[in-house]
Structure 1
Amino acid sequence: MIEKPVAVVTGASSGIGAETVRLLSERGFQVFMGARRIERLQALAQKYGGIPIALDVSSTESVRQFTQELPDSVQVLVNNAGGALGLEPIVNFDENQWVEMYQSNVLGLARMSKALYPRLLTRPNPVSHVFNIGSVASFEVYPGGAGYTACKHAVRAISETMRLEWLGKPIRVTEIDPGFVETEFSLVRFGGDIARASSVYAGMEPLTATDIAETILWSIERPPHVNIDCMVVRPLDQARIDKIHRQA
């Protein structure tokens, strides 16, 4: 019996994470999906298969418990959990929001990568793969975005350092940096304000979660000697974070 390759997706309850679960499941992976909203994960498991496990990447204990449920070998880790909170200028920044963003976007990514590193090294087939979901905010800034852009700049630093520290190991590291993707991202950022969240994408055609999930799958399917270091994916209507073409 041929064992399925194992993939782990964090932040899997919606958006890019959920679409990644779907595509990897359809491609024959056994997907372990983690998120805080376990009921959403269970619904995904019913549709696509996979194993739902509660996970809060901002908690070291939660990461430990999640990792205990995984098999000894993992081929793919998608560090997708994270998000943005608030849009205040630095002089009015909310310290609790910044701490929460760092815990999920930066420390959560580091916790998961540290915890799964031994499993990524076990029987790679022929290589394992870590994906860090960044943003165009990994290399651009904008007014009101200091907390989030600082987190995503940190994601880029971690991705580049992984490649240096793991050079010679059978682990590929890919950073995916999306522009505007219409998911729950803006709804969470603006505290559930539907009108404000919708205005972000008004008059333009943003990317979809599927667009980004497909870049992950494409990167996995490159020959094992090929590493996609970083992929920037924007909608045609976006030139920079704050440069958007909108129809009247």
Structure 2
Amino acid sequence: MRGWAKALGAVVRDVPLREELGWLPDPADIRAAISPRTKVITLCTPNNPTGRVVPADLLGEIVAIARANGIWLHTDEVYKGAEYGTVEPPSSVDLYEKAIVTNGLSKAMAMPGLRIGWLVGPAAEIYASWQRKDYTSITTGAVSELVASMVLQPARRKAILDRSRDLLSRNVDMMVRWVRANEGLVSLAPPQAGGMAFMRYHLPINSTELAHRVKDEQGVLVAPGDVYGMDGYFRVGIGAPAHVLEDGLERVQLFLRGLARSAA
């Protein structure tokens, strides 16, 4: 969203997610970022990369800020439904008449190959978006649309999300145990949803350099925190089968412990 907005010539004002608040935004920061020219607030919940969920009371406060300023609220909810440590909160479209939601089948529903996503919001704005899509790409594949209509039936959707939540919750437990075993090297605010964990490391190395070295030396891919503007962290995917995640964590552990010894 940030890249698209800048490409369209919009001025983007970043509001930090605060680790001391559980990787949530401070409403005071949101208010301070708003100017008379502000058109939209956008947020990702459940969040990528932190895996944290904006709770209902905070979402309601953000809605109140948007309504008081007469601006739009966009929420990326592609991980919604994959909450495993908290109750699924309401969608912003259930709370605000000027909310627009983007969602799809690629994350919580674990079907990226279908390439199906959608918008939810006021009818006039959705129709205008539909017209723009018709002009650029017309439609998605008919087979993908058929499969999507099947998997989004309530019973099938529940079965898929139950599987995702079960796999992810077990992998989070593994990740927490791994962090405890490597106390002093890494720390983690455990994710509440989605297929990622955002980990702080306590070693004197840039996160992009760390990511490249872990790849080259151990054959494991992690995402460096500095691509999110937060050096000193790396993101780990936790959506793989447990044995794959376990092997990857063992390799990352070997790298981190070796780096710690060389830095001592």
Q: Fold match, TM over 0.5?
A: no
The structure carrying a bigger helix percent of its residues is 2
**Higher relative contact order, chain-length normalized (CA < 8 Å, sep 6+):** 1
What band does the TM-score fall into relative to the shorter chain?
0.3 to 0.5
Q: Using structure 2 for the length normalisation, give the TM-score.
A: 0.35
